[in-house]
């Protein structure tokens, strides 16, 4: 009888010590770390940024050779799912997990959360950011605002948004950055 209990105990220990499935995902991808790695790579490659800024009816175009990528990509690095205000407030869906990419989609379950949806795709096995898409909305007694952000590694980023004050006109803006090879 004691032998049976020892065997059952050994099997229980072995099963409980088995590593989790290779498809298990970290609930909240470290987007800040992914962008830090992307910024380091952009700085190493000396990329050029062609940027178009639109605010209402005004348009400005800039061609930047000495790019401060930390400043340019700051709105993206500030998307941090590990913030306490975001923890436990998203449904998490694994969109893709193969030998080349992992893609995770976060959809807000709490209406108080400004970040409504976030999709993150990273390469494997080097964990480099490949694509990020985010949708923000905010509404209170004074105004409502929306913001859509997209980043494609090594090629493009966009930030489009609008804000409508209760007693004013809607204001729209967009920033589009095209990342080109350095010279």
Please check whether residue 92 lies inside any domain of the structure.
Answer: yes
Please check whether residue 11 lies inside any domain of the structure.
Answer: no
Residue 43 · residue 171 · CB < 8 Å: no
| Model confidence, pTM | 0.81
Please check whether residue 7 lies inside any domain of the structure.
Answer: no
Question: Containing domain of residue 98, as a range?
Answer: 23-180
Please check whether residue 16 lies inside any domain of the structure.
Answer: no
pLDDT tens for each residue of 60-83: 999 999 999 999 999 999 998 888
Q: Classify the C-alpha dihedral 4-10-16-22 as positive or negative.
A: negative
Please check whether residue 8 lies inside any domain of the structure.
Answer: no
The total number of structural domains that make up the chain: 1
Rounded CA gap, 8 and 77, in Å? Answer: 49
Please check whether residue 70 lies inside any domain of the structure.
Answer: yes
Please check whether residue 71 lies inside any domain of the structure.
Answer: yes
Give me the pLDDT at residue 167, please. Answer: 86
Please check whether residue 5 lies inside any domain of the structure.
Answer: no
């Amino acid at each position: 009888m004691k032998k049976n209990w020892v065997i059952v105990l050994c099997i229980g220990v072995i099963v409980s010590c088995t590593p989790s499935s290779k498809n298990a995902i970290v609930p909240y991808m470290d987007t800040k770390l992914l962008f830090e790695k992307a910024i380091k790579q952009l700085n190493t490659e000396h990329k050029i940024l062609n940027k178009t800024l639109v605010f209402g009816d005004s348009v400005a175009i800039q061609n930047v050779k000495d790019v401060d990528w930390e400043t340019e990509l700051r709105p993206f690095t500030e998307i941090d799912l590990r913030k306490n205000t975001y923890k436990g407030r998203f449904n998490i869906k694994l969109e893709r997990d193969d030998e080349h990419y992992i893609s995770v989609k976060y959809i807000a379950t709490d209406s108080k959360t400004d970040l409504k949806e976030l999709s993150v795709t990273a390469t494997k096995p080097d964990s480099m950011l490949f694509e990020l898409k985010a949708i923000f909305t905010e509404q209170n007694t004074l105004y409502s605002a929306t913001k859509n952000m997209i980043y494609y590694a090594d090629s493009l980023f966009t930030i489009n948004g609008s804000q409508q004050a209760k007693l004013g006109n809607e204001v729209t803006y967009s920033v589009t950055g095209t990342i080109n090879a350095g010279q």
